[in-house]
Amino acid sequence: MHARPWLRPLLLASLVILTFPLPAAVYKWVDENGKVHYGSKPPSGKQATEIRTPAATESQPAPASDLQRKSRRKKILEAYEAERQEKREAKAKEQAEQQKVAERCAKARDWLKREDGAPSLYKKDEAGNRQYLSTEDRTELVKKMRTYVRKHC
């Protein structure tokens, strides 16, 4: 149903990442079995190496305030709503166009059904008088209408 089903999880993940900052430092140590472990706190009695994360470096901005987080969340939700509105409008436009095509097709089929079996066809001139089509003109007009119906219906 959605054109981009991956967008919602991406937006939610972005909100989570923006809301919860990473720990300032991560520690690495090796246990007595030689297995490497990582954690936000160094183990007691073990030698651990501190690994600096991007959140712990000086170049990173301070954690966002609640107001900044709410503002970011609002912007993301507004963008999501705008995209949904665009999709609704595009769908409505497509449905309206399909309805127009169906109506034109129904009119063309109706005309062809009615006029194909008629013994003669006519056009009205500017004064409202009937001018009957010749057999060749009638045959050509019906042929054009059949072609239109086959092509567009």
The model's confidence at residue 47, banded by pLDDT at 50, 70 and 90, is confident
Distance of CA 151 to the CA centre of its chain: 30
Q: How far apart are the first and last CA of the chain?
A: 26
**Could you tell me the two tokens for 125?**
């001139």
What are the backbone angles phi and psi of residue 8, rounded to the nearest 5°? -60, -50
Q: For residue range 99-143, what is the model confidence (pLDDT) as tens digits? A: 999 999 998 898 888 887 788 888 888 999 998 888 888 888 889
**Residue recorded with tokens 């169906």:** 102
Is the pLDDT at 57 greater than 50? The verdict is no
Strand 36-39 relative to strand 25-30: parallel, antiparallel, unpaired? Answer: antiparallel
